[in-house]
DNA sequence: AAGGTCGTTATCACCCGATA
DNA sequence: TATCGGGTGATAACGACCTT
């Protein structure tokens, strides 16, 4: 968007239909007379972000480092939204053609970056949008930095090396167990702290109850000590012990309600729900109590024992829970099992086998 | 914004045994 | 032989949330 002058008024502009600046694949013309308002605006944000990144890099004080990191991260999300907004039809400066053009450039750049990496002996494990995961036997951080510099120079784009993983697990798709998916993975970096990076799974979701989050966090803490896949496999029994521990705690009925709360964002008014989903049931309880619940609002609930088959009794807002409220241990155990399976699926464990080990 | 995953609920077909 | 109900499994629709 920046360097290519991609903006609502510059892509397919009327003033220079024969501009030499073209969009790859699509051959749209890009204005050669004016700089677009989008790149002009983004420049401010990009400059500021790279300043904070640099400041963080040069800073020793941990608190300040965190502060700079938070600022560059806030700017990152403003920039991500700017890209999204370019394709939003109601946006003042939006235009779908400019959005499509941005995607076309991004494909070309990613392709080119992959080609450069491969030409230098790196193997592409996975790539998405503006990121690549590469391997090369015995490659050092310096090798990756060097590759970065080459690509940066070639594409004339800022590019940074995030780190080297000791190991990384890409989870397979549940709908197509053959295919690993791009938005669910976890791994540890080779730094001193063995920093974990986790995307997409339970601990990253805000609707995961605390009990499951704690359990999965503990499991990840166990696995992060592995240096390679052999050590990883050797740690799996400890992970299974953690699962058993949490499951029996749940079954003993002693887990406090606070750890069992599930919170969801309502996407519609409670009466618009066609399915008797727990969040709709919980919302109805709140309305019955004289509360008001709107789309966009958060609603919390606890999964309760359902002695009848009335859907109403399967969920209860924690606000209405009392000492007699009994949670449904088995449904929470199911959540634990599924979160465990999310970690161990590539190693031959699934919900069925894990459930069996808990009997 | 776009492109996904995934879990839950609803629905329906089907099987099977019980019942009349 | 017809009917009913429970259980099971497949499928569609729904709904939430995640990734960049």
pLDDT 10s digits, A1-37: 677 888 888 888 888 888 899 888 888 888 888 888 8
Nearest of A146, A196, A140, A160 to residue A54 by alpha carbon:
A160
Residue pair A187/A169 in contact by the 8 Å Cβ criterion: yes
Q: Where in chain A is the domain with CATH 3.40.1820.20?
A: 261-326
Q: Which residues pair with A132 in a beta bridge?
A: A127
Chain B positions with any atom < 7 A from a protein CB:
1-10
CA distance A149 to A51: 19
Exposure pattern of A114-150 as b/e (b: 16+ CB <10 Å)? Answer: bebbeeeebeeeebeeeebbbeeeebeeebbeebbeb
Q: How far is the CA of A68 from the C1' of C13 (A)?
A: 45
The answer to whether some atom of strand C lies closer than 7 Å to the beta carbon of A339 is: no
Residue pair A266/A286 in contact by the 8 Å Cβ criterion: no
Query: From the alpha carbon of A303, which nucleotide's C1' atom is closest?
Result: B8
Residue whose CA is minimally distant from C20 C1': A129
Query: From the alpha carbon of A341, which nucleotide's C1' atom is closest?
Result: B6
Q: How far is the CA of A16 from the C1' of B16 (A)?
A: 75
Query: From the alpha carbon of A173, which nucleotide's C1' atom is closest?
Result: B5
The answer to whether some atom of strand B lies closer than 7 Å to the beta carbon of A70 is: no
Percent with pLDDT over 90 in chain A: 16
Q: How far is the CA of A35 from the C1' of C17 (A)?
A: 38
Nearest of A207, A247, A226 to residue A336 by alpha carbon:
A247
Residue A95 pLDDT = 80
Residue whose CA is minimally distant from B2 C1': A84
Query: From the alpha carbon of A200, which nucleotide's C1' atom is closest?
Result: C18
Q: How far is the CA of A276 from the C1' of C4 (A)?
A: 27
Q: How far is the CA of A275 from the C1' of B11 (A)?
A: 12
Q: Which residues pair with A180 in a beta bridge?
A: A172
User: Quick one: tokens of A232?
Assistant: 């990883």
Tell me the CATH number for domain A1-163: 3.90.1600
Q: How far is the CA of A175 from the C1' of C11 (A)?
A: 13
pLDDT by residue for chain A (359 residues), tens digit each? 677 888 888 888 888 888 899 888 888 888 888 888 888 888 888 889 889 888 988 999 989 998 898 888 888 878 877 887 787 766 667 788 888 888 888 888 888 888 999 999 998 888 777 788 899 999 999 999 999 999 989 988 888 888 899 988 888 776 666 667 777 888 899 888 898 888 888 888 888 888 888 999 999 999 999 998 899 999 999 999 999 999 889 888 888 888 888 888 877 777 777 777 788 888 888 888 888 887 777 888 888 875 445 566 778 888 888 777 788 888 888 888 888 888 888 888 877 788 878 77
Q: Where in chain A is the domain with CATH 3.90.1600?
A: 1-163
Residue A175 pLDDT = 63
Residues 19-78 of A with CB under 7 A from strand C: none
Tell me the CATH number for domain A261-326: 3.40.1820.20
């Amino acid at each position: 968007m920046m360097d290519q002058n991609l903006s609502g008024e510059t892509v397919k502009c009327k003033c220079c239909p024969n501009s030499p600046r073209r969009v790859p694949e699509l051959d749209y013309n890009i204005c050669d007379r004016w700089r677009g308002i989008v790149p002009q605006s983004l420049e401010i944000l990009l400059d500021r972000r790279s300043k904070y990144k640099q400041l963080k890099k040069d800073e020793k004080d941990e608190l300040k480092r965190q502060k700079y990191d938070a600022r560059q991260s806030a700017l990152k999300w403003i920039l991500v939204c700017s890209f999204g907004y370019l394709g939003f039809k109601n946006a003042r400066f939006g235009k779908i053609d400019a959005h499509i053009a941005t995607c076309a450039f991004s494909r070309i750049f990613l392709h080119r970056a992959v080609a450069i990496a491969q030409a230098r002996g790196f193997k592409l494990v996975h790539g998405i949008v503006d990121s690549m995961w590469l391997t090369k036997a015995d490659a050092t951080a310096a090798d990756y930095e060097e590759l970065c510099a080459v690509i940066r120079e070639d594409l004339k784009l800022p590019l940074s090396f995030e780190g080297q993983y000791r190991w990384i697990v890409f989870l397979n798709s549940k709908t197509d167990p053959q295919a690993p998916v791009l938005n669910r993975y976890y791994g540890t970096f080779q730094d001193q702290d063995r920093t974990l990076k986790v995307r997409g799974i339970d601990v990253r979701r805000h609707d995961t109850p605390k009990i499951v989050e704690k359990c999965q966090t503990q499991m990840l803490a166990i696995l992060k000590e592995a240096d390679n896949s052999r050590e990883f496999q050797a740690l799996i029994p400890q992970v299974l012990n953690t699962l058993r521990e949490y499951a029996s705690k749940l079954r003993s009925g002693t887990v406090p309600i606070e750890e069992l709360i599930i919170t969801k964002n309502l996407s519609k008014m409670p009466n618009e729900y066609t399915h008797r989903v727990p969040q709709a049931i919980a919302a109805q309880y709140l309305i019955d109590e004289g509360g008001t619940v709107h789309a966009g609002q958060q609603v919390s609930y606890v999964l309760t024992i359902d002695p009848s088959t009335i859907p109403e009794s399967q969920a209860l807002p924690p606000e209405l829970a009392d000492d007699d409220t009994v949670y449904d241990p088995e449904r929470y155990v199911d959540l634990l099992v599924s979160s465990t399976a999310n970690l161990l699926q590539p190693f031959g464990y699934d919900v069925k086998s894990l459930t069996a080990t808990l009997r």
